[in-house]
Amino acid sequence: MGVSAPLLSAVGVIASVVAMMVDGRRAVSIAVVVLAAGMTPTAATFGGAPGVAVLAACAVAAVVFAWAGFVGGRRLPWVAGLDPTIPAFAPPDRLFGPRSVRAFSAAVAVPIASWVSFNIPVGQITTAVQGLLFPTAYAWTCGIIRLLLARTVEDLAVGVAMVSLSTATAWLLRSGSDSLPGAVIACAVTPVAALVAGWLAGRSTRRRPVEAEA
Amino acid sequence: MNPLVIAAVWVVLGVTASAVLRRRTARLVTFVPLAGAGLTLLASRSLAPVEPLGGLGAISGLDRAGQGLLVAAAISMALVIALHPSIDVSAARTIGVVGASVTLAMASGDPLLTALALTVAVGALALRWIGQAPGRATLAAGRIAGSGTAALIAASPFLPLSGFTTGARPVVVGGLLVAGVAALLAVYPLGGWAAGVLSVLRPLDVAPWLVLLVPTVLLLAERIPEGVLGDGVPVYEHILLVVGLGSAVWGGFWAVRGPARTRYGRIFMTDIALSIAAVGGTRTSPAVTGALIIVLCHLTLAPILLRPAEAGLMWPRRVAWALLSGVPPSPSFWGRFLLLEALAAGNVDSTIAAVVAMTGIFIATVMACSTRPARVPPAGWRARAPEAGAWLLVAAGIAIGLAPLSVSRFVFGS
């Protein structure tokens, strides 16, 4: 059965848009799970079962690490810390909010990813793949945009996770002996980003002790 | 010793120091970079230069230049901590993570591992900076420097470029590498974040970026060989030349115009911009030697000049500014002279831009020398210790100026 490029692209675009728009304390976990699911058809096509396993393991690890970080952050004694969901600065009043800008940027990313997909081959000279990079390139472009438009630490963590997952899928497209190890290494940052975001979220949900205020 | 073990020691010591040490024992944080420097001396050696442009590979060892740079940077970091008037022990965590990351980045010949190591370093710095001073400037560090490392990560699946030296692929890879290098070195138009960070954060918080990360990225950028990039060479070299020189002129201007407390940071950024313009843009031998001497000069003088002016050390600071001015026989003179020689081999416009930037640095250092800081009365031998350390560093700076090539060969092996 041949590869349905439009199907791969549609699934990847939907997953990337969801990851681009998600906010809140569980944003990293949600973004990673959705994006891993969206990249799975591409991973299955080029990496087979091991490729799918890499993305699935990455998603599970991200959820577990985020939860572990949250629990760990809550259990430790209260310290003044950083809330990953509070914007680092107050933006001026604008007609369009941050999510509108993200949605517009996600639309702009479509032609960029399309150009990359059709003009840049991935892999060695004998096994190069061209024209099927769209979901990966789109997810990576959205990740970069999410990083550039970040207002909170949670946004930064989501952006890093998106870049990491999309690069891992690009490594699976290389179809060489090093494609699977490369994908595993590229995925390694995702659980770390989830752990940091979960840790900070857990720590900031603790309340300052009354005696400390007194 | 395997670089992975050295990196693990950096992290463990940094995290332990931040958890265990208290205000009275805060100065023991100095031992985190000192231990890193000591272990790096024992690192297993790679005979060939480690170029982060190959396929996926293991971390085998550091080459001579990388080893020398990491040892010098770690010692400089230790001296920054030792000379700083007050130390926040939680900074040890960031120092440990950044030290480990740069060790792995320097030891790796694999573009993916190098990029991931730099991502971890930038992440640790961004979290520290945002936690210390939440605001637009510190968040921009995470945004821009993070995007730079993301560009380096994105380039990894397309490397090596064997068989693809023409077409869009090498051009895109060249563009991604330029974006990564420019963002991490804070070269304009991707350098505004560093200027903001220098003005809102304490020098000790900026030091891991300035002392550990920037020299590493500069050396890594020098190692991207032009023969490998094919059609990407003009993109890589020309963009680095133009943005480096533009950034240097801009940095020189703001070193003169900007507030006194950010002056050293501005001069450092200007020198790094000149170095990357010469090293990345001209590819001639004097450029690399000049950049290494400039890096060595800053690693020697940063511990003095990163210490707040109000905290004393008036005369050592003045001599340090003089050593940074570019007047012969200061080490900065030889470094900038070699950079200028390399740029002059290209075209006259580059030379003029570099001279303008160097003039800005000279005026800024003269202004810094002539400013009279508040005199802090010495209080016993403990207050004398930083002054003695600062004079020793000044002596080292003079020694570099008297024998720049010999010292560079001793530290970097070339």
Distant-in-sequence, close-in-space partners of B227: CB < 8 Å, separation ≥ 6: none
Exposed/middle/buried for A94, CB within 10 Å: 0-12, 13-18, 19+?
exposed
pLDDT confidence band for B55 (50 / 70 / 90): low
Examine the pLDDT at A29 and tell me if it is beyond 70: yes
Distant-in-sequence, close-in-space partners of B329: CB < 8 Å, separation ≥ 6: B401, B402
Tens of pLDDT along B225-277?
666 777 888 888 888 899 999 999 999 999 999 888 889 999 999 999 999 99
pLDDT of B64 reads 85
Record: contact A121-B127, CB cut-off 8 A: no
pLDDT of A119 reads 85
Q: Write phi, then psi, for B248 (nearest 5 degrees).
A: -65, -45
Cα distance between residue B396 and residue B316, in whole Å: 12
pLDDT of B374 reads 62
pLDDT confidence band for A205 (50 / 70 / 90): confident
Q: Give the percent of chain B with pLDDT over 70.
A: 92
Region B50-56: what's the mean pLDDT? 61
Report the range of poorest mean pLDDT among A13-27, B65-79, B102-116, B374-388.
Answer: B374-388
Distant-in-sequence, close-in-space partners of B189: CB < 8 Å, separation ≥ 6: B243
Record: contact B119-A160, CB cut-off 8 A: yes
Minimal CA–CA distance to A41: which of A60, A55, A27, A29? A55
Please count the residues of chain A.
214
Examine the pLDDT at B56 and tell me if it is beyond 60: no
Tokens representing residue B293 in the block: 């001497």
B chain contacts of residue A174, beta-carbon cutoff 8 Å: 157
Minimal CA–CA distance to B105: which of B180, B50, B142? B50
Minimal CA–CA distance to B57: which of B15, B107, B96, B1? B107
Cα distance between residue A131 and residue A118, in whole Å: 5
Cα distance between residue B61 and residue B55, in whole Å: 16
Region B80-106: what's the mean pLDDT? 91
Minimal CA–CA distance to B393: which of B289, B324, B302? B302
**Is the Cβ–Cβ distance between B138 and B80 less than 8 Å?**
no
Minimal CA–CA distance to B104: which of B21, B7, B10? B7
B chain contacts of residue A186, beta-carbon cutoff 8 Å: 112, 116, 153, 156
Cα distance between residue B257 and residue B280, in whole Å: 28
Minimal CA–CA distance to B141: which of B157, B154, B128? B128
Cα distance between residue B225 and residue B279, in whole Å: 11
pLDDT of A130 reads 66
Other residues' Cβ atoms within 10 Å of the Cβ of residue B27: 15
- Whether residue A6 is preceded by a cis peptide bond, meaning omega within 30 degrees of 0, is no
- DSSP codes joined into one string, B197-241: HHHHS-HHHHHIIIIIIHHHHHHHHHTS-HHHHTTHHHHHHHHHH
A chain contacts of residue B168, beta-carbon cutoff 8 Å: 119-120
Q: Integer distance in angstroms from the first to the last C-alpha of chain B?
A: 23
Other residues' Cβ atoms within 10 Å of the Cβ of residue A4: 12
Which pTM was predicted? 0.91
- Whether residue B160 is preceded by a cis peptide bond, meaning omega within 30 degrees of 0, is yes
Cα distance between residue B77 and residue B72, in whole Å: 9
Examine the pLDDT at B211 and tell me if it is beyond 60: yes
Q: Integer distance in angstroms from the first to the last C-alpha of chain A?
A: 70
Distant-in-sequence, close-in-space partners of B261: CB < 8 Å, separation ≥ 6: B199, B308, B309
Examine the pLDDT at A123 and tell me if it is beyond 80: no
Is the Cβ of B120 closer than 8 Å to some Cβ of chain A?
Answer: yes
Q: Write phi, then psi, for A122 (nearest 5 degrees).
A: -115, 145
Q: Spell out the long-range contacts of A30-34 with Cβ–Cβ below 8 A and sequence spacing 24 or more.
A: A31/A158, A31/A161, A31/A162, A32/A58, A32/A59, A32/A62, A32/A63, A32/A161, A32/A165, A32/A190, A32/A194, A33/A59, A33/A62, A33/A63
pLDDT of B285 reads 75
Examine the pLDDT at A155 and tell me if it is beyond 80: yes
Record: contact B130-A178, CB cut-off 8 A: no
Tens of pLDDT along A46-83?
888 888 999 999 999 999 999 999 998 888 766 666 77
**Is the Cβ–Cβ distance between B130 and A153 less than 8 Å?**
yes
pLDDT confidence band for B103 (50 / 70 / 90): very high
Examine the pLDDT at B189 and tell me if it is beyond 90: no
Q: Quote the mean pLDDT of chain B.
A: 86
Residue B180 CA from chain centroid, whole number: 15
Minimal CA–CA distance to B55: which of A179, A117, A184, A189? A179
Minimal CA–CA distance to B113: which of B212, B219, B3? B3
- For residue A4, the distance in angstroms to the closest alpha carbon of chain B comes to 23
CA distances, B185 to each of B69, B144, B151, B194, B243 (Å):
16, 11, 14, 9, 11
Region B79-96: what's the mean pLDDT? 89
pLDDT confidence band for B159 (50 / 70 / 90): confident
Helix boundaries (H) for B331-379: 331-344, 348-370
Q: DSSP character for B62?
A: B
Q: DSSP character for A89?
A: S
- For residue A102, the distance in angstroms to the closest alpha carbon of chain B comes to 15
pLDDT of A214 reads 46
Record: contact A167-B154, CB cut-off 8 A: yes
Cα distance between residue B157 and residue B167, in whole Å: 16
Tens of pLDDT along B290-326?
999 999 999 999 999 988 877 777 788 889 999 999 8
Task: Report helix, strand and coil shares of chain B as percent, to nearest 5.
Answer: 80, 0, 20
pLDDT of B192 reads 83
pLDDT confidence band for A159 (50 / 70 / 90): very high
- Closest-CA residue in chain B for A188? B116
Dihedral sign for Cα A161, A162, A166, A167, please. negative
Residue B278 half-sphere exposure toward CB, CA atoms < 13 A: 32
Q: Give the percent of chain A with pLDDT over 70.
A: 85
Examine the pLDDT at B394 and tell me if it is beyond 80: yes
Residues 68-87 of B with CB under 8 A from A: none
Examine the pLDDT at B200 and tell me if it is beyond 70: yes
Residues 145-184 of A with CB under 8 A from B: 147-151, 153, 156, 159-160, 163-164, 167, 170-171, 173-174, 176, 178, 181-182
Cα distance between residue B36 and residue B67, in whole Å: 11
Tokens representing residue B256 in the block: 């003169």
Interface probe, candidates A167, A169, A184, A204, chain B, greatest B C-beta count within 10 A: A167
Is the Cβ of B4 closer than 8 Å to some Cβ of chain A?
Answer: no
Report the range of poorest mean pLDDT among B160-169, B187-196, B282-291, B339-348.
Answer: B160-169
pLDDT of A181 reads 86
Q: Quote the mean pLDDT of chain A.
A: 84
Q: Give the percent of chain A with pLDDT over 90.
A: 37
Dihedral sign for Cα B85, B25, B80, B102, please. negative
Q: DSSP character for A84?
A: T
H or E stretch including B346? none
Is the Cβ of B192 closer than 8 Å to some Cβ of chain A?
Answer: no
Tens of pLDDT along A105-115?
889 999 998 88
Minimal CA–CA distance to A134: which of A148, A118, A150? A118
Q: DSSP character for B373?
A: P
Dihedral sign for Cα B177, B181, B183, B184, please. positive
